[in-house]
Structure 1
Amino acid sequence: MNNINLIPYLTFENTKEALDYYQTVFGATDVQRVSPTEKQAQEMSLNDDVNLDDLTMQASFNILGKRFFCADSFLGKPVISSMISLMFEVDLHDSEVLSSLQDLYDQVVASEEVKVIVTFEKKSSGNKYGQIVDKYGITWIFNAVK
């Protein structure tokens, strides 16, 4: 079963805008975005006057070398839920990767575009842990474990 991947796939009302947000706030790289074709728009019964370039059929981006996929919600406005969180977990003793995680945390907090739930710092367990919520209601967990 080692050939199975679990890949985050996010849904937004406006993915084009969300991609800009993740590039600016999280430093997302390798951003790719595909708009629906006219045929796909017809199959989804989209209005004829809709600007297809504003819509996103599929997109992806990297944060800390991890790939995230996303798309517009074509079935109505997406519902924000606190039931799903995304966690970056690193080895506390790997100074290079820990530094990258700390830099990402510092960058998103400095943007003032996120809400800090738990400050990323060493806890009584000896692990380093923190949580933020982005403007789309997604909880991001920063976890450095022994």
Structure 2
Amino acid sequence: MSNINLIPYLTFENTKEALDYYQTVFGATDVQRESPTEKQAQDMSLNDDVNLDDLTMQASFNILGKQIFCADSFLGKPVISSMISLMFEVDLHDSDALSSLQDLYERVVESEEVKVIVTFEKKTSGNKYGQIVDKYGITWIFNAVK
């Protein structure tokens, strides 16, 4: 079953705004976004006066080379949940990967747009670990393991 991928797919009330946030705060790259077509809007019974360019049918972005998909919630306002966590894990001995992870952590913390739950530092296990929560309630875990 090595041909199976598990891909994060997030839902936002305003994905356009969220994409800007992840570009600014997390340094997201390769941002792609598609608005719904008129046919898709009709199929979803959206109001005729809605500006389709403001809506996102599907989008994606990369952080540390990992692709994350997202879209607007067309079923009502999404509920923020502490049950959503995304973890970046690197080998503690891979200096390039560790440096990239450290740089990302410092970038998001310096932005003051996240809440630090656990400072990214070496723990008694010898691993380096940290957690932050972004403005959308998503927990991001930074994990460097031996």
Post-superposition, which runs of at least 4 consecutive aligned residues in structure 1 deviate over 4 A? Answer: none
Q: TM-score of the superposition, structure 2-length normalised?
A: 1.00
Whole-angstrom distance in 2 between the partners of 1:4 and 1:40: 28
Gaps of 5+ in 2: none
Q: Secondary structure at the match of 2:46?
A: coil
Whole-angstrom distance in 2 between the partners of 1:84 and 1:63: 17
What is the CA-CA distance between 1:138 and the residue it aligns to? 0.1
Whole-angstrom distance in 1 between the partners of 2:106 and 2:17: 22
What is the CA-CA distance between 1:23 and the residue it aligns to? 0.1
1:92-113 CA distance string (max 9 Å, x none): 0000000000000000000000
What is the CA-CA distance between 1:80 and the residue it aligns to? 0.6
Task: Indicate the percent of aligned positions where both proteins have the same amino acid.
Answer: 92
Q: How many pairs were matched up?
A: 146
Whole-angstrom distance in 1 between the partners of 2:84 and 2:38: 33
Q: TM-score of the superposition, structure 1-length normalised?
A: 1.00
1:84-139 CA distance string (max 9 Å, x none): 21000000000000000000000000000000000000000000000000000000
Whole-angstrom distance in 1 between the partners of 2:131 and 2:32: 27
1:46-76 CA distance string (max 9 Å, x none): 0000000000000000000000000000000
